[in-house]
Amino acid sequence: MYILENDLLSTQLQQSVIFSPLKFAIIKSFWGPNITSRTAINNELQLEPYFSYYSKQCHLMLGDGGRHISARRHHDISHIVELFNEEKTLEETVDAIRSNILHLNLPDEEDMILGSINLAARLYLMMSFGEVPNARTPERALSWTGASIQDFLKQHLEPRQVLASTSVKLQKIFNARNIQRLAGIKIEWTSDLGQHLRMIHDDERVAIFHNASFLRLHQQRYVTSNSNRFRFESPKNINTRCSRIFPEGFIDETLRTLALLFPQSDKEVKKWVQGLPSEIDQSVRICGSLGADSRHIERFTYWHDRVVVLKQVFDEVEPGTVAHLWNDRRRPVQWYTLWTAALVILLTIFFGFVQCVEGAFQVYKAYYPK
């Protein structure tokens, strides 16, 4: 089994199509031996968006004839991921890679090694490490320096709650479908975890990280059912274990933001998600639902400020059409007051019209009694 998987990982990075056995080998090399069913990838489609991202990143970093990275095969990336998990410093990681490529006599060895490290970090963490050569990307590139990548992520992702949130209430109506339908805030789907919940384009769009399958991989939430099929277990049915690579609680909270925006209990949201393009990870619809207590803004630490900003923008947008007015239940008291007043006005107009018709009929009968 090990020899076969090692042979699969020896294939070239630049191949455009990643077949199912190779996908399984990559997942197992990245996230450990808990995945035991080779039929996994054939039976489930949740990870297709991740592997689309995987192929795209390899293609971008291998531009210009591959002169920006030393990695050429999937096992080169797998080796760097192992170094990440061993909590090697950047210097130790560079030395370990250099010892494996001394015989290649690369012209820009240092830069190519750093390029390979950035590619491995992008594939393993889905965050924008390093600049992409000859490509313009909206994300700000991260630069890992010094200590282990775990320490870097802990410092980079450290909760910094700057915005006050005493008045922020996360009602059930606050979900991705209503953010787009009621507030007119367009959703910009992103595969960059660092861009999650960021308001962009003058607060007209919000970036949402949709790769819930990837997040579950980092929590080791894969289980094998009795039918030998590969599936995700619901968060409420499994004892979660955070990955060593991300700070404690970060992945769990990120999944909870998806549960907030895509509540599994909301049939309209589930139906809406099913109509999204195929490149969007459909497993966002099975992230669960948050109860009233879990929807308190204080429950969010890593994503606190971005949730606050998004909710404020959501609340401040005024409906522009009658349909929006009818569907907008963000302020229930105002909604009932508005439509009660509208009903009273309509009834007044209706009965006034009836009285006018009745009066006209009486005048007509007075002039023409027969």
Of 112, 127, 156, which closes a domain? 156
Same domain for 209 and 289? yes
Instruction: Decide if 166 is inside a domain.
Output: no
pTM, two decimal places: 0.80
Phi-psi group of 19: left, alpha or beta (phi > 0 → left; psi -120 to 50 → alpha; rest → beta): beta
pLDDT at residue 126 tops 90? yes
Same domain for 280 and 193? yes
Same domain for 363 and 297? no
What's the pLDDT score for residue 212?
92
Looking up tokens 């915005």 gives: 163
Instruction: Decide if 313 is inside a domain.
Output: yes
Same domain for 140 and 209? no
Pairwise CA distance, residues 132 & 115, whole Å? 9
Same domain for 192 and 338? no
Q: Looking at mean pLDDT, say which of 128-132, 165-169, 218-222 comes out highest.
A: 128-132
pLDDT in tens, 320-333: 555 565 556 555 65
Low-confidence winner among 32-41, 81-90, 175-184, 291-300 (lowest mean pLDDT): 32-41
Of 349, 277, 307, 304, which Cα lies nearest the Cα of 175?
307
Q: Residues 227-239: what's their mean pLDDT?
A: 43
pLDDT at residue 231 tops 60? no
| Residue 19 structural domain | 2-156
Instruction: Decide if 171 is inside a domain.
Output: no
What's the pLDDT score for residue 86?
92
Same domain for 150 and 24? yes
What's the pLDDT score for residue 138?
58
CA atoms within 13 A on the CB side of 125: 28
Between 40 and 61, whose confidence is greater?
61
